[in-house]
DNA sequence: ACTGTGACAGCTG
DNA sequence: ACAGCTGCCACAG
């Protein structure tokens, strides 16, 4: 069964262009459902559509959501690399952790 | 209604 | 960058 909110999330995931990634919370936000990151995760877990680019959804810090070494982890890693996405230590390059208070106040000294 | 769990996020040390 | 804690939402028992 599918709710209107579910369709939004699925659409948001399908909207992620190849070679790019988005966080769970990001997807939820784009779907007009701020704070529903867990919902995105649940939908993906329940998802059956092989055409859905689920591999483009990662954690907010760019890390793969699966435990390192697991089948799904390896699969996602493989798919991302197939799209020329730099993946290192289970983490996607280009994503950066949320700015800490220090960096936010003082700025990045570089 | 309460509790436990999970493909999460944000802040703090 | 890493670990710990808290807040959050949805679902199953």
Å from the A1 CA to the B1 C1'? 26
How far does the CA of A110 sit from the C1' of C11, in Å? 45
Blockwise average pLDDT, block size 10, chain A, 110 residues = 89 96 96 96 95 97 94 95 95 78 59
CA–CA separation, A90 and A92 (whole Å): 7
How confident is the model at residue A95, as a pLDDT?
83
Report the nucleotide nearest the CA of residue A35, measured to C1': C8
A29 CB and strand C closer than 7 A: no
CA distance A12 to A76: 18
Q: Which pLDDT belongs to residue A94?
A: 86
DSSP helix/strand/coil, A88? strand
pLDDT at A2: 77
Q: Print the domain residue range for A83.
A: 4-106
Number of domains in chain A: 1
CATH number at residue A38: 1.10.10.10
Query: Tell me, what's the pLDDT at A77?
Result: 95
């Amino acid at each position: 069964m599918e709710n209107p909110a579910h369709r939004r999330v699925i659409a948001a995931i399908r909207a992620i262009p190849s070679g790019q990634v988005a966080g769970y919370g990001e997807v939820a936000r784009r779907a007009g459902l701020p704070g529903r990151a867990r919902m995105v995760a649940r939908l993906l877990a329940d998802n059956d559509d092989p055409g859905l680019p689920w591999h483009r959804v990662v954690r907010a810090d760019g890390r793969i959501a699966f435990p390192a070494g697991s089948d799904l982890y390896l699969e996602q890693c493989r798919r991302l690399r197939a799209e020329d996405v730099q993946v290192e230590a289970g983490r996607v390059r280009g994503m950066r952790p949320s700015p800490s208070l220090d960096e936010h106040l003082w700025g990045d000294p570089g």
